Amino acid sequence: MRSLRHSCTVAALVAGLSLATAQAFAQPAGVLRVAVGADPATFDPAFNDLPVGNAVDLAVLEGLYRLDLQNNAQKNLATDSSFSPDGKVFTVKIKTGRTFSNGDPLNAEAVAASFNRMLDEKTGSIYRGLYASLGTIKAVGEDTVEFHLAEPNGHILMLLANTAASIVNVKALKEMGAEYGRKPVGSGPYMVERFVGGEGFRLVPNPKYAGDYPATLKAIDFSVVPEDGSRMALMETGAADIVERVPPESIEAINALKSAKVVTPPSMFSINMEMVLRGPLADPRVRKALNLAIDRDGIAKGVLGGLGTPSVGMVGPGTQDELRKTFPLIQFDPEGAKKLLAEAGYKPGQLALSFTCPTGRYIKDVQVCQALAGSFENVGIKATPLVVDRGTWTKVVGMEPAQRTDNMGMVGRATAGMDYTLYRLFFTGVGANRTGYSNPRVDGLLKEGRATTDPARQKEIYGEIQEIVWKDQPFLFLWYQTQAIGVANRVQGFAVQPNETLVFDRVTLK
Amino acid sequence: MVVLRRIGGALPTLFAVSLLVFLFVDLIPGDPAQILAGPTASNEEIESIRKFLGLNEPLLTRYGHFVRGIWDPAAATSFRTHRPVVVELAERLPNTLIVSIGGLAIGVLVGTLAGIVSAMRPGGAADAAITVLTLAGISMPIYWLGLLCIWLFAVNLGWLPAAGASTPLHFVLPILVIATRPAAMFSRLVAASLTEAMGKDYLDTARAKGLSETRVVLAHALRNSLIAAVSVAGVQFGGMLGGSVVTETVFGIPGVGRLLVDAVSRADYPVIQYAILMFAVFFVLINLVTDLLTQWLDPRTRDQERPA
């Protein structure tokens, strides 16, 4: 009897302790403090264009799909999907019984309304063009959404997994107006509790969340600190657990701290000098000579302070890696460059080229431009770097090739998937093809690749396209950006996507 | 009456400023639609956003829309956030005013005291030290001084927060940093005016009445010395509002200056236009207050205002 009583007491104690432990694990704990450099004016996914905004949208809203840490599309709200036999209707089944944080149902109707709102001309979304191929979206019952596509698109999952395709609560949006951009009502694990424009914002757990990534933190406090030195000071004083965009010169100082280290995950941001393919640059020998004249390793180590990897392919790592193709690094060969220029008919000093660079848009952009000018001079080209403010740079690199008075422009690209990136840059005559590139074989392949849903065939098609582009060299291929983020030792489970989105799914604090 | 007349006189100035601001902002390189659409956007997409923002309208129509936005918040919304610009400005203005007014107040106080000390013992050790400090205060760029102060007081000593604006403590460093310039200016100005006033006959009369030297300086000489200082304070305050761009960036303070910098880099025309117009209104008001203060301190200027 006594033994039974003892056993019962022990069992009760164990059960009680287990329950307490389970509750302790279930309850999010700790406040994570994040210092970011850019001010996210809005979290409305139809207008947000900053990685920090993507990070918030990923935590506060949900999409049908979401990108994993290798940029692969994974199911989120979606449970199943299929194309109609003619490839014109894409049907997605969604989880039922889900709600937004304000209690409104998140059903097929809400999903369709969210997409149709983004595609409505009156909304003025900056992503309307990117998603135009989705056509019209219809709800069928509670759990089925049909995309009646404007054109067959074998890359639809990449589009749907982007945070721009997150599901917004259109009903709440109509009531809140522009304020929705600050406190979006979503179905994600967190909600925006506070937003002070220019200063910061706070995310807290969404009690109505029912997905696979429940909140692990009591709160995430973001502060907006644009000045690099001040932001690094927050890390050094322990006032921030994560600091975004550590400049190369501060990496050593942060690594010297006992409390934090700099992590350098890869970024899909591919930085190139995009050539205007007319005049001297219409000649492939000149383009090849320019690519040979560059010491990519030297730039990556000496100028970028290690925050760059020399380019070995058209698109950056993480841009649909299963379709991405890389090539041997273009070796630094100034003699070969001189030879090719001579073959093209240019004696030393005869060829003059100018190139447009932004100020402060990319890591050490101005210094890289000066280094490039030196490299060109080294092989006998008269080089004029045109370093301009961001507004002028946007205008110049966005001009039609015929209007350009310079020969090249520095541009970084990190876009949603292979099709989107390559089609817009290299299909003959499309409004975003700013180099004037035209290759009938590439055009045919790009069209076929867009309409193909078979992954094996897609791999073949995009492999060939990348091979042709790499050989044609319409760009001066430069580097892939490396992210540098200061992370305190007490932070566990922090991750970053190649598109520079901070991921807080599994973060805990020691 | 004088106030009303002065405000009436400022209206043409404000009209000219509104026209100039509108036209100059329109001339800034870069197309807002293109910046919003991103570098991979096609011409058609950019055109669609341009249409949505109303950038295709004729210049005069857009100017009319801009003027209407002065009293109708719904007509003046940010290109980026779509919120009324007046709301954006109202949220940020208190922070800018706290730093600017706080900086000016501390600057005036410290500068005046330092000026008095210098004038009471010209050539002494205190005067020499104040001269060195004022030279440093005038010549040190605010940006550099701000970063130095963060390094010393936040990183090394850990006394104050490095950046942000969430608590009153966050404002201490920026206010002290921004106060250096007016303090230095006032110190030199007050010292020079006081030294000049000290030899005047009316002070001998005051001394002859048996007043202490401190009383003579504070009650008689200082009031006259402050007349010039008030005009300088007005100009300094205007300059501090303009300089808020730098201070707010260094210390991560969400003020109008930061809002303006962000707006310029993203070609958010309405925010730039209304923020500059607001600064222009402030300048006009500061001038008015300065003039009124000068008239109060110096009755002779009041006489000049009387109609003949």
Of the candidates A359, A362, A475, A469, the one whose C-alpha atom is nearest the C-alpha of residue A408 is A475
Tell me which residues of chain B, numbers 176 to 205, contact chain A at a CB-CB cutoff of 8 Å: none
Going by pLDDT thresholds of 50, 70 and 90, the confidence category of residue B35 is confident
How crowded is residue A299: how many other Cβ atoms within 10 Å of its Cβ? 21
pLDDT surpasses 70 at A263:
yes
Any CB–CB contact under 8 A between A226 and chain B? yes
pLDDT in tens, A439-453: 999 999 999 998 888
Asked whether the beta carbons of residue B92 and residue A198 sit closer than 8 angstroms, the reply is yes
- Report the pLDDT averaged over residues A356-361: 88
Of the candidates A430, A432, A426, the one whose C-alpha atom is nearest the C-alpha of residue A445 is A426
Predicted confidence at residue B304, as pLDDT, reads: 54
Any CB–CB contact under 8 A between B81 and chain A? yes
pLDDT in tens, A216-237: 999 999 999 888 888 999 999 8
A360 vs A472 pLDDT, higher one: A472
- What does B192-223 look like in DSSP terms, one character per residue? HHHHHHHTSHHHHHHHHTT--HHHIIIIIIHH
Predicted confidence at residue A375, as pLDDT, reads: 94
Asked whether the beta carbons of residue A391 and residue B30 sit closer than 8 angstroms, the reply is yes
Measure B236 CA to nearest chain A CA, in Å: 25
How crowded is residue A72: how many other Cβ atoms within 10 Å of its Cβ? 16
Predicted confidence at residue B302, as pLDDT, reads: 62
pLDDT in tens, A271-304: 999 999 999 999 999 999 999 999 999 999 999 9
Phi, psi of B30 (to 5 degrees): 105, 140
pLDDT surpasses 60 at A17:
no
- Report the pLDDT averaged over residues A479-486: 93
Kindly list the residues from chain B whose CB atom is less than 8 angstroms away from the CB atom of residue A392.
29-30
Q: Mention every residue, 6+ apart, whose C-beta is less than 8 A from residue A284.
A: A472, A473
Any CB–CB contact under 8 A between B42 and chain A? yes
Any CB–CB contact under 8 A between A111 and chain B? no
pLDDT in tens, A66-104: 998 888 889 999 999 999 988 899 999 999 999 999 999
pLDDT surpasses 50 at A8:
no
Asked whether the beta carbons of residue A395 and residue B34 sit closer than 8 angstroms, the reply is yes
Kindly list the residues from chain A whose CB atom is less than 8 angstroms away from the CB atom of residue B155.
233, 236-237
Outline where DSSP puts E strands in A118-189: 136-140, 144-148
Asked whether the beta carbons of residue A124 and residue B53 sit closer than 8 angstroms, the reply is yes
Predicted confidence at residue B1, as pLDDT, reads: 66
- Report the pLDDT averaged over residues B224-236: 75
pLDDT, chain B, mean:
83
Tell me which residues of chain A, numbers 30 to 49, contact chain B at a CB-CB cutoff of 8 Å: 35, 39, 41-42, 47, 49
Residue to test with chain A: of B47, B48, B53, B80, most A Cβ within 10 A: B80
Any CB–CB contact under 8 A between A121 and chain B? yes
Q: How far is CA A449 from CA A438, A452, A469, B100, B249, in A?
A: 17, 5, 15, 59, 46
Asked whether the beta carbons of residue B258 and residue A198 sit closer than 8 angstroms, the reply is yes
Kindly state the DSSP code that residue A281 receives in the 8-state scheme.
G
Which residue(s) pair with A139 in the sheet?
Answer: A145
Phi, psi of A223 (to 5 degrees): -120, 140
Any CB–CB contact under 8 A between A454 and chain B? no
Residue to test with chain B: of A119, A199, A234, most B Cβ within 10 A: A199
Of the candidates A261, A245, A263, the one whose C-alpha atom is nearest the C-alpha of residue A38 is A245
- Report the pLDDT averaged over residues A237-263: 93
Q: What's the rounded Cα separation, in Å, for the pair B38 and B46? A: 9
Kindly list the residues from chain B whose CB atom is less than 8 angstroms away from the CB atom of residue A412.
39
**Residue pair A45/A166 in contact by the 8 Å Cβ criterion:** yes
pLDDT surpasses 50 at B307:
no
pLDDT surpasses 90 at A357:
yes
pLDDT surpasses 80 at B214:
no
Kindly state the DSSP code that residue A354 receives in the 8-state scheme.
E
Going by pLDDT thresholds of 50, 70 and 90, the confidence category of residue A454 is confident
Kindly list the residues from chain B whose CB atom is less than 8 angstroms away from the CB atom of residue A414.
none
Any CB–CB contact under 8 A between B247 and chain A? no
Predicted confidence at residue A409, as pLDDT, reads: 94
Which sign, positive or negative, has the C-alpha torsion A313, A315, A318, A319?
A: negative
Asked whether the beta carbons of residue B252 and residue A230 sit closer than 8 angstroms, the reply is yes
pLDDT in tens, A489-509: 999 999 999 888 999 999 999
- Report the pLDDT averaged over residues A150-165: 90
Q: What percent of chain A has pLDDT over 70?
A: 95
pLDDT, chain A, mean:
90
pLDDT in tens, B114-166: 888 888 777 778 888 888 888 888 888 888 888 899 889 988 888 888 888 88
- Report the pLDDT averaged over residues A145-163: 91
Q: What's the rounded Cα separation, in Å, for the pair B68 and B62? A: 10
Q: What's the rounded Cα separation, in Å, for the pair B35 and A7? A: 71
Asked whether the beta carbons of residue A227 and residue B163 sit closer than 8 angstroms, the reply is yes
Of A230, A413, A431, the CB nearest to B150: A230
Going by pLDDT thresholds of 50, 70 and 90, the confidence category of residue A400 is confident
Task: Kindly state the tokens that stand for A204.
Answer: 């807290």
Predicted confidence at residue A27, as pLDDT, reads: 61
Of B31, B43, B150, the CB nearest to A233: B150
Phi, psi of B293 (to 5 degrees): -65, -40
Of A226, A239, A415, the CB nearest to B161: A239
Q: What's the rounded Cα separation, in Å, for the pair A505 and B96? A: 37
Of A42, A230, A389, the CB nearest to B162: A230
Tell me which residues of chain B, numbers 118 to 177, contact chain A at a CB-CB cutoff of 8 Å: 147, 150-151, 154-155, 158, 161-166
**Residue pair B203/B221 in contact by the 8 Å Cβ criterion:** yes
A428 vs B193 pLDDT, higher one: A428
Kindly list the residues from chain A whose CB atom is less than 8 angstroms away from the CB atom of residue B42.
129, 424, 430-432
**pTM recorded for the entire structure:** 0.84
pLDDT surpasses 90 at A3:
no
- The residue type at B48: S
